[in-house]
Amino acid sequence: MIDYDVVIIGGTATSIYAAVTAASMQARVALVQPPIEIENNSLDRGFRYSKVLANLGKKAKELNRAQELGIYSKRGDLFSQNFSVNFEEAMEYAAAIVSNQEAKYEPAVLASLGVDVIFGNGSFVDKPHLAFVVKGRHLRSRAYLLATPLEPIVPDIQGLSSLNFLNVNNLALLAGKKLPESLIVLGGDPSGTELALAFARLGTRVTMAVNSSHILAKEDSEAAFLVQSLLEAEGVRILTGADIIQAREIEGKQWIQVGREAIEADDLLLAAGFKPNLEPLKLEAVGVEVKKGRLLLNKKLQTTNPKIYACGDLAGGYPFTHIANYEAKVALKNILYWRIFTVDYSGISWSIGSDPELARVGMTEEQARHRYGDDILVCKQDFKALDKAQILGEMTGFFKLVAAKNGKILGASVVGPQASELVLLISLAICQDLKVEAIADLPHIWPTLGEINEKTAAAWLKQRRKNNSWLQDLIENLFHWRRSWL
């Protein structure tokens, strides 16, 4: 006897999303959540804190920029001269926001939606039947969906594992503490970039150490270097190609040795990426293959055991919730209906919480050139030429459009104000197989930041036309012929 249509092994926001979605599809659903004390120290909660802290940092920047707009306090002093941070109150504000957002995920709410919530750790067994065992209870289902949390990667640095370092998972530990005067960020992943900027704007002296040539190594190199230079302009010291020899705690301070230099800080934030913790699930016992700590998934999101699916970051990549939710929907349609649905990431965009934001969809310029060679055209437009950007005083950044010479859009990288919103139009165009002409022909409201889409597409078409000497000659001859007949 099968107990459920799907059992979701969770501990993430995506697992809850999947459970609610499956219940809305009239399925019988069980959601296995980690024990409460573990659940409260999670990556999803940390990301929420990170976003709130990034917004606080942006507000601090706006106060500091007020003088540029001629805005002064009633006493005539510059706002920037009166600026201070009560970090304890800021963390209380962040905690309230996070608590409010998480309220909709409470077990009672999920139960009212038809989800059986089971708290506890469990593992798979294959005898006498395939099941997931939690506290001695065998949960049998037509299929299982893995949406388990990630844990921070701890680099193999002497002494690092013995330190009480911060990471995105445990940002709540800062509650009730004073703003650190200094902070070391190890790694240049999206969360580290976002938090380094936030703390720097709140008044912390921040040092980032990365072993690559620049931060955000997976992104368009031009976009990543611009974000890096913006962080440095805000006071963040960035050490690239850093050879970190050891880390230790001395008299309550965190220390790292980078080459011959020793760097001291009040706190150390680890931002070297994340990895799944699959060992407790005993997946090998039920025929699920794990390679280098990652699951092998097909395009239907099945593991090597066709009854066990996975979504989220278990196969690698950035830990973005919206991508994991998309995967969960595809997996659930295969589990509950017919196994005919596959994932397509070409039109899914994402953003990184720098300021201005970095957003991308599809291929970077480097990736497109590697795959298509010279059969692409790349066009870039700067925000400084945009009327709305000038009005807002946010003119730093660019919009880079990558497309094949036939107009098929391959990708876009954006660094600029509201980049995460602007890139969505290109995402839609890729998903609907629209070409560059469709973006260029769409009238955009003036003045808006969205005009950057139209201007970049129009510039791309102009560049293609300029490169086509045959077409140029044809148009010139046509105009010459028409003038001669008037």
Locate 465 and state its tokens: 């036309």
pLDDT digits (tens, 9 = 90+) for 345-403: 999 999 998 999 999 999 999 999 999 999 999 999 999 999 999 999 899 999 999 99
Closest among 168, 153, 222 to 360, alpha carbons compared = 222
Q: Output the pLDDT for position 275.
A: 87
Q: Output the pLDDT for position 41.
A: 53
Q: How many CB atoms lie within 10 A of CB 285?
A: 12
Residues 207 and 321 in one domain: no
Which band of pLDDT confidence, cut at 50, 70 and 90, is reported for residue 39? very low
Residues 106 and 180 in one domain: no
Residues 192 and 231 in one domain: yes
Residues 55 and 147 in one domain: yes
Residue 463 has pLDDT above 90, yes or no: yes
The residue among 478 and 124 whose pLDDT is bigger is 124
Mean pLDDT of 332-342: 95
pLDDT digits (tens, 9 = 90+) for 232-258: 999 999 999 989 999 999 988 999 999
Q: Is the peptide bond before 128 cis (omega within 30 degrees of 0)?
A: yes
Residue 312 has pLDDT above 70, yes or no: yes
pLDDT digits (tens, 9 = 90+) for 13-31: 999 999 999 999 999 999 9
Residue 415: inside a domain:
yes
Closest among 27, 21, 7, 105 to 325, alpha carbons compared = 21
Q: Output the pLDDT for position 63.
A: 77
Q: Which of 240, 257, 272 is the last residue of a domain?
A: 272
Total number of residues shown for the chain: 486
Residues 465 and 384 in one domain: yes
Mean pLDDT of 291-307: 93
CATH of the domain at 28: 3.50.50.60
State which amino acid sits at residue 304: T
Residues 260 and 328 in one domain: no
Residue 137: inside a domain:
yes
Residue 78 has pLDDT above 60, yes or no: no
Mean pLDDT of 126-145: 94
Residues 13 and 125 in one domain: yes
Q: Output the pLDDT for position 53.
A: 87
CATH of the domain at 437: 3.30.390.30
Residue 473 has pLDDT above 70, yes or no: no
Residue 461: inside a domain:
yes
Highest mean pLDDT among 74-78, 96-100, 219-223: 219-223
Residues 432 and 332 in one domain: no
The residue among 61 and 234 whose pLDDT is bigger is 234
Locate 401 and state its tokens: 């459009």
Q: Output the pLDDT for position 240.
A: 94
User: In the predicted model, what is the mean pLDDT of the chain?
Assistant: 90
Mean pLDDT of 396-420: 97
Residue 23: inside a domain:
yes
Residues 361 and 453 in one domain: yes
Q: Output the pLDDT for position 152.
A: 86
Backbone angles phi, psi at 343, to 5 degrees: -85, 150
Q: Which of 272, 288, 316 is the last residue of a domain?
A: 272
pTM: 0.90
Residues 133 and 208 in one domain: no
Residues 233 and 141 in one domain: no
Residue 81 has pLDDT above 50, yes or no: no
Residue 343: inside a domain:
no
Residues 119 and 173 in one domain: no
For the chain, percent of residues with pLDDT exceeding 70: 93
Residue 135: inside a domain:
yes
Domain count across the chain: 3
The whole-angstrom separation of Cα 390 and Cα 404 is 31
Residue 484: inside a domain:
no
Residues 466 and 472 sit within 8 Å (Cβ to Cβ):
yes
Q: Domain range for residue 95?
A: 6-152+275-336
Residue 222 has pLDDT above 80, yes or no: yes
Residue 18: inside a domain:
yes
Q: Output the pLDDT for position 317.
A: 67
Q: Which of 229, 252, 272 is the last residue of a domain?
A: 272
